[in-house]
């Protein structure tokens, strides 16, 4: 079976991850992985919940080494956990704390690495002078990534080692080879990645973890949230490069929401060479502002959980997207475009509405009606409605996404969700029911299965939903209903 | 009349300003006087989430001229309620 290395750093001394004020070298990282491999309880599947990329990486490398499979659900709610436990045996959770009232086995990397035992292991055993990490079989299933699905059950997509490598090598070719070439002297430049997105989602996994490992880049372990946090992380990387007498070249792996936040708060971003944005299309004006203010190019990746990264563009140069080399597009009929690839999924139908220019180029026209994208996180209306309608006190209910198209401002607020509900009881809405109490109960019901950003911002009590004769809810009718409720609210 | 006075809370000037900033930024259809200064902003209470926090941070920086940081262990406390957020703004504002 063909194999390829898990990483590609020039030596064991190369810095891999910046953690708590210092760079951890490849040698030190693998030394720690060796120790943990002896301690980790037997398992077949890993649920790696670490937001910090140092701990995440340790968990991911342990999985690669021991041939266990990392599970990456789109969100970790009690409902999702229960579903995963049912379907995947010997599940081990990697986390500093147990999620909700979880009873599965938990392995706390942080606690193990702060133990006396690890300190004495570090004192007794020297870091090996030779690389001891197996090459990974290309067909090894290293991860299963889930979409929220439409029936209430997370839908799994298998990722073999080769799938991640294909995406990473094409991303390198299109997005990173440029900054590598422009660096004056390669050995005098420290290439680094900083990400505001989770490592557990396809974009974060490919662009911030696999790309870093395969190119020998340094990754910052933090996931900054506020713009000033991004500044702080970039300053740390800049200082590190200075102490090594190197120049810094950092790429920020992020989303339109965080780019907007940087521009609006006018933070400084030292050492930034490139912005990479994905999860939702970026407005040209915003990309333009970032390029000008920070003198760094803004590149976008287009992809999905099912396939991974598929296309790219430099936002200020083109509206059209160019597919990565292994992706070929084919129109099946007027509405459906098929993606063909040599990754293990082979074929997939586009989730989004696109205009096909040729086999390699397309223009993004919008999302299919069922898909919801808020601040780059995706779910489907069917999934949300399924969980809302399962609440027993409701006769009928649905989610609706307001569209703030009237905004002329370059960075409008995110479009959030509202819900319309029809109560079971026929009693008049004004009589003796505690709306606040009902809203609270519905929200806590939804929290069991739905990530907080998808919870309805407002819940409207209505007498019926505008279903058409086939039982469907036309968007145009929901829009009218929304308008009525807003008028009522004002009156 | 009775009902509206029950739901109305007294705010300091900065709490009033902060409440209005929250309402305008997040497009909430309530009056600033309806926000209980001690009610939770996240989770229960106003039920704000992480995107709201980022939108609020942008608005606070633009209006009050200082940046929020999350490595600050007091952060949870700062965003706990209208009162604590207004206090943090009072301590840090530059304009």
For residue B41, the number of C-alpha atoms closer than 13 Å in the C-beta half-sphere is 25
Report the alpha-carbon distance of residue A202 to residue A5 in Å, rounded: 20
Phi and psi based region of residue A401 (left: phi greater than 0; alpha: psi -120 to 50; beta: remaining)? beta
> Which candidate, A378, A387, A27, places its Cα nearest to that of A202?
A378
Residues 6+ apart with CB under 8 A from A228: A265, A267, B67, B68, B69
Kindly list the structural domains of chain B, giving each domain's residue range(s) and its CATH number in brackets, ordered by start: 2-92 (1.10.1200.10)
Average pLDDT of chain B is 83
Q: Left, alpha or beta for B47 (phi > 0: left; psi -120 to 50: alpha)?
A: left
Q: What is the domain partition of chain A in residue ranges?
A: 3-366, 371-490
Quick check: A226 and B29 CB within 8 A? Answer: no
Q: What is the pLDDT of residue A183?
A: 65
Question: How many Cβ pairs closer than 8 A exist between chain A and B?
Answer: 62
- What is the CATH architecture of A371-490? 2-Layer Sandwich (3.30)
Q: Which of A196, A197, A223, A225 to mutate to test the interface with B (most CBs of B within 10 A)?
A: A225
In this complex, the residue of A265, A413, A443 whose CB is nearest that of residue B47 is A443
Q: Which tokens in the block code for residue B34?
A: 């309806």
Give the three-state DSSP class for A157: strand
Helices then strands (H, E): number in chain A?
15, 27
- CB atoms A414 and B55 under 8 Å: yes
* Each residue's pLDDT tens digit, B8-22: 788 899 999 999 999
Outline where A125-271 has alpha helix (H): 161-171, 177-182, 202-204, 211-215, 227-243, 256-265
Give the C-alpha separation, A369 to A475, whole Å.
9
Nearest residue to A6 via CA among A109, A180, A142: A142
Predicted local distance difference test score (pLDDT) of residue A180 = 74
> How are strands ordered across the β-sheet holding A22-25?
A22-25, A15-19, A218-220, A189-195, A247-254, A272-277, A297-304, A308-314, A321-323, A361-367, A352-358
Interchain CB contact of B27 with A (< 8 Å):
yes
Contact A267 B67 (CB under 8 A): yes
Packed helices A53-66 and A26-39: angle between N→C axes, nearest 10 degrees: 60
Which residues 63-82 of B are in CB contact (within 8 Å) with A? 67-71
Q: Which residues of A touch B61 (CB under 8 A)?
A: 227, 264-266
| Topology (CATH level 3) of domain A3-366 | Rossmann fold (3.40.50)
pLDDT of residue B26: 84
Contact at CB, B71 and A258, closer than 8 angstroms? no
The residues of A whose Cβ lies within 8 A of any Cβ of B are 224-229, 231-232, 257-258, 260-261, 264-267, 374-375, 404, 413-414, 440, 443, 452-453, 455, 458, 486, 489
**B68 CA: distance to closest CA in chain A (Å):** 7
Asked if A455 and B70 come within 8 Å (Cβ–Cβ), the reply is no
Q: Which residue of B has its CA nearest to A441?
A: B44
Per-residue pLDDT band at B72 (split at 50, 70, 90): low
Interface touch A453/B50, C-beta < 8 Å: yes
- Give A464's contacts (C-beta < 8 A, 6+ positions apart): A396, A422
Per 3-state DSSP, chain A is made up of helix, strand and coil in percentages (nearest 5) of 35, 25, 40
Determine whether the interchain pair B49/A455 forms a contact, defined as Cβ–Cβ distance below 8 Å: yes
pLDDT at A37: 96
List average pLDDT for each run of 10 residues in chain A, which is 491 residues long. Answer: 94 96 96 96 96 97 97 88 91 83 82 95 87 94 88 86 98 88 76 96 97 97 95 98 96 95 96 94 93 97 95 95 96 89 94 88 81 79 87 88 56 77 68 77 88 88 86 84 82 52
Q: What is the pTM of this model?
A: 0.87
Give the nearest partner residue to A265 out of B29, B58, B70, using CB atoms. B58
Cα(A9)–Cα(A27) distance, rounded to whole angstroms? 10
């Amino acid at each position: 079976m063909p194999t390829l290395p898990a990483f590609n750093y020039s030596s064991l001394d190369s810095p891999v991850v910046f953690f708590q004020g210092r760079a951890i070298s490849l040698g030190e990282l693998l030394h720690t992985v060796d120790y943990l491999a002896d301690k980790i309880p037997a398992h077949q599947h890993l649920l790696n919940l670490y937001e910090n990329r140092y701990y995440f990486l340790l968990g991911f490398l342990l999985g690669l080494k021991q041939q266990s499979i990392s599970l990456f659900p789109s969100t970790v709610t009690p409902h999702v956990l229960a579903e995963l436990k049912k379907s995947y045996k010997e599940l081990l959770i990697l986390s500093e704390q147990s999620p909700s009232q979880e009873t599965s086995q938990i392995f706390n990397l942080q606690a193990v690495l702060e133990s006396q035992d690890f300190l004495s292991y570090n004192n007794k055993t020297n870091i090996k002078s030779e690389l001891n990490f197996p090459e990974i079989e290309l067909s090894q299933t290293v991860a299963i990534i889930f979409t929220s699905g439409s029936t209430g059950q997370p839908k799994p997509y298998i990722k073999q080692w080769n799938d991640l490598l294909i995406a990473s090598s094409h991303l390198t070719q299109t997005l990173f080879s440029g900054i590598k070439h422009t660096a004056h002297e390669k050995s005098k430049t420290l290439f680094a990645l900083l990400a505001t997105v989770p490592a557990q989602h396809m974009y974060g996994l490919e662009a911030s973890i696999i790309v870093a490992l395969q190119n020998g880049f340094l990754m910052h372990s933090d996931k900054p949230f506020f713009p000033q946090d991004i500044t702080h992380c970039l300053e740390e990387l800049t200082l590190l490069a200075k102490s090594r007498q190197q120049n810094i070249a950092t790429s920020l792996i992020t989303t339109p929401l965080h780019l907007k936040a940087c521009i609006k708060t006018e933070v400084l971003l030292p050492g930034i060479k490139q912005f990479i944005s994905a999860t939702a299309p970026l407005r040209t004006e915003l990309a333009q502002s970032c390029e000008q203010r920070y003198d760094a190019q803004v590149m976008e990746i287009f992809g999905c959980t099912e396939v991974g990264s598929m296309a790219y563009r430099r936002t200020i140069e083109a509206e059209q997207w160019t597919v990565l080399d292994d992706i070929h597009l084919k129109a099946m009929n007027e509405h459906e475009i098929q993606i063909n690839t040599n990754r293990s999924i082979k074929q997939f139908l586009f989730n989004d509405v696109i205009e096909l220019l040729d086999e390699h180029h397309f223009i993004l026209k919008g999302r299919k009606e069922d898909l919801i994208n808020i601040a780059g996180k995706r779910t489907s209306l069917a999934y949300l409605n399924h969980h809302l309608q399962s609440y027993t006190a409701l006769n009928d209910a649905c989610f609706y996404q307001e569209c703030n198209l009237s905004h002329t401002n370059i960075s409008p607020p995110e479009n959030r969700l509202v819900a319309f509900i029809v109560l079971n009881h026929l009693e008049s809405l004004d009589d003796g029911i505690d709306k606040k109490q009902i809203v609270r109960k519905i929200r806590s019901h939804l929290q069991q299965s739905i990530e907080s950003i998808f919870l309805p911002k407002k819940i409207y009590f209505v007498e019926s939903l505008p279903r058409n004769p086939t039982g469907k809810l036309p968007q145009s009718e929901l829009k009218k209903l929304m308008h009525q409720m807003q008028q009522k609210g004002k009156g | 009349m009775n009902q509206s006075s029950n739901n109305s809370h007294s705010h300091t000037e900065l709490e009033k300003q902060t409440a209005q900033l929250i309402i305008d930024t997040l497009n909430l259809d309530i009056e600033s006087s309806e926000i209980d200064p001690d009610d939770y902003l996240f989770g229960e209470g106003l039920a704000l989430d992480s995107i709201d926090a980022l939108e609020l941070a942008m608005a606070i920086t633009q209006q009050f001229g200082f940046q929020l940081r999350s490595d600050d262990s007091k952060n949870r406390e700062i965003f706990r309620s209208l009162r604590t957020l207004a206090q943090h703004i009072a301590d840090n504002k530059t304009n």
